[in-house]
Structure 1
Amino acid sequence: MNRNILEYLKRIQAMAKTGLTYSENPYDIERYEEMRDSTNELLAQLSNAPLETFKFHFEELDNDYPTPKVDVRGLVMKEGKILLIQEKTDQKWSMPGGWCDIGYSASENVVKEVFEEAGIRVKPVRILSVWDKAKQDHPHDIRYVYKINFLCEIVSGELNVGHEALDGGFFALDELPPLSEVRNTERQIMKLMELVESGELDWD
């Protein structure tokens, strides 16, 4: 099977799984189920393998060996201020970012997340930190999460908040709004700014 086709189908499967996880609308759920089933059928036809093989494979992914989730965040600066997005879930603020999607590298994910949440095109310059969320000063999370923070440069665009956020803005370090501490804390933001200056990489 062509590798590019396989990667596209894996991404469609991931979209279907995400939709089934978060959707509440019964019509949307039906569409995501159809997307999942159609992808299985297409994979079976392209590989001349039994349909049940692919149904089993994707069902097994849910029961596979547990591994950490990966969260990426972009530190985006403008005139000495950092970009923060107001989250819908808790009405508090965080650096733009989110869970990594299948089919994208970590750096591609952070570019996508910043654009979706803030409407700004960025270029990742370097990784600032790779942190184990359980070893940081976050509230307890039942999930095990690795957090990758990128320093990003603005390429183009103006702040235009997407549907996933309530508001956005650039803030001075001494004027930070209430932070969404499940995503990032004030101590972490200050540490990231130190890493920008020092050129170092920090990890747990």
Structure 2
Amino acid sequence: MTVKWIDWVKQLQSIAQAGLTYSKDVYDIERFQQLRDISISMMSHYTKTDWEVVEKLFASETGYQTPKVDIRAVVFQNEKLLFVKEKSDRKWALPGGWADIGYTPTEVAAKEVLEETGYKVDYFRLLAIFDKEKHQPSPSATHTYKIFIGCEIVGGEKKLSIETEDIDFFSEHEIPDLSIARNTEWQIKEMFGFMKDRNKERILD
């Protein structure tokens, strides 16, 4: 079930941030700052998180607010899919993370796979672009687009990173305990669909 209040708070924050960016009138700027403070207070109250923490994570950006971009690498080997076990929640996810400034989406995918697993990948293929809001069972403080990019191992060797405590390949019938904020079971099953059918149409929200 969608928790509507968090959507409204994010919209308030977005309006306030745009107003602070483009307003010239000092009184309008003051009102937009008040609006931003209200959105922070609401998020702090309902999530039971310190105001200062919410401000840093939720309302510290400047400029026109746009969705964040999360890149996930889809790497198959012998009909099994590559996963990493995250130290942060001890659950499994496809290699990936936030898109970095100065990198293309495929470069981010390759960088994340190398950093998190030790494998080098190439031969990229866009598989899906998801709006996280439409697929997550629980609400998020940020609006995120998730890009799933297929790629193939061309070198390297298995190597743990400071973020991961395990690396492994799993078949469609042995999907591990997933880090749902990073990838859902439905999304993973769709990725196996791409493995079985190279002509499967990409998924676009």
TM-score, normalised via structure 1 length = 0.68
Aligned residues: 144
Q: Does 1:88 align with 2:75?
A: no
Q: Residue 191 of structure 1 corresponds to which residue in structure 2?
A: 190
CA distance in 2, matches of 1:182, 1:124: 27
Amino acid in the other structure paired with 1:201: R
Amino acid in the other structure paired with 2:100: D
Q: Does 1:201 align with 2:202?
A: yes
Unpaired segments of 5 or more residues in structure 1? 1-60
Q: Residue 156 of structure 2 corresponds to which residue in structure 1?
A: 157
Deviation at 1:64, TM superposition (A): 0.5
Deviation at 1:138, TM superposition (A): 4.1
Q: Residue 109 of structure 1 corresponds to which residue in structure 2?
A: 108
CA distance in 2, matches of 1:112, 1:72: 11
The aligned runs of 1:65-144 (5 Å cut-off) are 65-144=64-143
| Contact 2:117–2:167, Cα closer than 8 Å, also in 1 | yes
| Contact 1:97–1:110, Cα closer than 8 Å, also in 2 | yes
Per-residue CA deviations over 1:131-179 (Å, capped at 9, x if unaligned) read: 1000113421110000000111001012112111111101111111100
Deviation at 1:62, TM superposition (A): 2.8
Deviation at 1:124, TM superposition (A): 4.2
Q: Residue 48 of structure 2 corresponds to which residue in structure 1?
A: none
| Contact 1:107–1:124, Cα closer than 8 Å, also in 2 | no
Per-residue CA deviations over 1:53-81 (Å, capped at 9, x if unaligned) read: xxxxxxxx931110010000011111111
> What percent of counterpart residues are identical?
42
CA distance in 1, matches of 2:76, 2:85: 16
CA distance in 2, matches of 1:139, 1:95: 19
Per-residue CA deviations over 1:73-92 (Å, capped at 9, x if unaligned) read: 01111111110000111100
3-state SS of the aligned residue for 1:104? coil
C-alpha root-mean-square deviation of aligned residues, in Å?
1.4
CA distance in 1, matches of 2:157, 2:91: 21
Amino acid in the other structure paired with 2:204: W
